[in-house]
Amino acid sequence: MSVMSNPAYGEVLSEGKAKTLYITDDPQRLILHFRDDTTAFDGAKRASLSGKGTLNNRFNAFIMRHLEQAGVPTHFERLLNNQDSLVHRLDMLAVEFVVRNIAAGSLCKRLGFESGLELRPPLQELFLKDDERGDPLIYDQHAIRLGLATQEQLHRGAELALRVNELLMPLMADAGMLLVDYKLEFGMDDGGELLLGDEFTPDGCRLWDTKSRESLDKDRFRQGLGGVVESYRIAAKRLGVEGVVAEE
């Protein structure tokens, strides 16, 4: 397949809670389709939010390009259309790397951290990617003993997750937002390199307006605050994400 030609959509490889992966005529490339579906609490709360797929696809492309330019290896190749991106096929690690700059969400519920407490240096956590078990917090040793990742992969993932923080904290700050926390997923490409996969969007991070501390992320959906897509759009426009217009 030449780089510029449009890939042929093949069968559905997987349909997750918010995205669908399609195989293509190139075995090393997949089409990542961002749907309007949104879920919270491991799938217990669901809705379809018009325009979310397009916003997240464009938001993700913007962030992945920014990271790639700064030397973070990612699966992102290019935008195909409003809701689809071409990515490198990865063998995903079934763990989630979370980085926290400010205490929020499960950290407060689980361990009693005061919401809004600054975490310096940032706190890193590992979760098992398993909705049926409620994505529990795990140690590296659990992931290794379960055969989900090697020590080296976990070390590299944690290193890249922190590098992402160094790059995105100032980017968000310049756009008037606090990067509170985020979740990353990594996978191995066919050459044995660990790449950042999945997505970086307001579905998988917390972004607060710097002044008001208002949420511009999926907490609006989790907490039933409304204005979910509108908030994602505000965040995208502040960052200068291309193709984000007032009405989508």
Interacting residue ranges for ligand ADP, rule: CB under 6 A? 14, 16-19, 21, 30, 75, 87-90, 92, 185, 187, 197-198
Among 75, 88, 89, 206, binds ligand UDP (CB under 6 A): 206
Separation of alpha carbons 78 and 45, rounded Å = 31
Other beta carbons within 10 Å of 71: 9
Binding mask 12-51 for ligand UDP (x = CB under 6 A): ----------------------------------------
**Closest residue to ligand UDP in the complex (CB):** 105
Among 67, 107, 172, 179, binds ligand UDP (CB under 6 A): 107
Indicate the SS3 state at residue 31.
strand
- Report whether 24 contacts 10 (CB < 8 A): yes
Determine, following the binding rule CB under 6 A, whether residue 106 of this chain makes contact with ligand UDP: yes
Structure token digits, residue 127: 């979760």
Residue 11 CB, nearest distance to ligand UDP (Å)?
Answer: 26
Determine, following the binding rule CB under 6 A, whether residue 52 of this chain makes contact with ligand UDP: no
Residue 209 CB, nearest distance to ligand UDP (Å)?
Answer: 16
Give the interface segment with ligand UDP, choosing from 5-13, 54-62, 146-154, 181-189 (CB under 6 A). Answer: 181-189
- Report whether 238 contacts 244 (CB < 8 A): no
Q: Where are the beta strands (DSSP E) in 82-204?
A: 84-88, 91-92, 95-102, 118-128, 137-138, 177-184, 186-188, 194-196
Give the interface segment with ligand UDP, choosing from 4-12, 102-110, 112-120, 240-248 (CB under 6 A). Answer: 102-110
Determine, following the binding rule CB under 6 A, whether residue 181 of this chain makes contact with ligand UDP: yes
Separation of alpha carbons 77 and 23, rounded Å = 15
Residue 175 CB, nearest distance to ligand UDP (Å)?
Answer: 17
Question: What angle is formed at CA 46 by the lines to CA 45 and CA 50, rounded to 5 degrees?
Answer: 145
Residue 18 CB, nearest distance to ligand UDP (Å)?
Answer: 10
Determine, following the binding rule CB under 6 A, whether residue 105 of this chain makes contact with ligand UDP: yes
Separation of alpha carbons 191 and 221, rounded Å = 39
Helices 52-69 and 228-239: crossing angle in degrees, nearest 10, is 30
197 makes contact, choosing from ligand ADP, ligand UDP, none, with CB < 5 to 8 Å by partner type, with ligand ADP
Q: Which of residues 133-172 bind ligand UDP (CB under 6 A)?
A: 135
Closer of 54 and 215 to ligand UDP (Cβ): 215
CB burial string 96-120: b at 16+ within 10 A, e below: bbbbbbbbbbbbeeeeebeeeeebe
- Report whether 213 contacts 178 (CB < 8 A): yes
Catalog residues that contact ligand UDP under the rule CB under 6 A: 96, 98, 104-107, 135, 181-183, 204-206, 218
